[in-house]
A and B are shown apart, each in its own frame.
Chain A
Amino acid sequence: SQQGEEDPQALSIQEGENATMNCSYKTSINNLQWYRQNSGRGLVHLILIRSNEREKHSGRLRVTLDTSKKSSSLLITASRAADTASYFCATTGTSGSRLTFGEGTQLTVNP
Chain B
Amino acid sequence: DAGVTQSPTHLIKTRGQQVTLRCSPKSGHDTVSWYQQALGQGPQFIFQYYEEEERQRGNFPDRFSGHQFPNYSSELNVNALLLGDSALYLCASSGTSNAPYEQYFGPGTRLTVT
A2 within 8 A of B: yes
Q: Does A31 contact B (CB under 8 A)?
A: yes
Given the known A-B contacts A97-B94, A98-B33, are A45 and B42 also in contact in the complex, defined by CB atoms under 8 Å?
Answer: no
Question: Chain A residues with Cβ under 8 A from B42's Cβ?
Answer: 2, 88, 90, 101-104
Chain A facing B: main interface SS: strand
Would you call A45 and B103 a contact (CB within 8 A)? Answer: yes
| Contacts across chains A and B counted by CB atoms under 8 Å | 68
Smallest distance from the beta carbon of A7 to chain B beta carbons, Å? 13
User: How many residues does chain B have at the interface if contact means C-beta atoms less than 8 Å apart?
Assistant: 30
Of residues 55 to 111 in A, which have CB atoms within 8 Å of B's CB atoms?
88, 90, 92, 96-104
A37 to chain B minimum Cβ distance, whole angstroms, is: 9
Cβ of A35 to closest chain B Cβ, rounded Å: 8
Bound Cα distance from A83 to B41, whole angstroms: 19
- Chain B residues within 8 Å of A, Cβ to Cβ: 4, 31, 33, 35, 37, 39, 41-45, 48, 55-56, 58, 88, 90, 92, 94, 99-108, 110
One digit per residue, 1 when the CB lies within 8 angstroms of any chain B CB and 0 when it does not, for chain A 29-48 equals 01101010000111111001
Q: Which residues of B contact A45 (CB under 8 A)?
A: 102-105
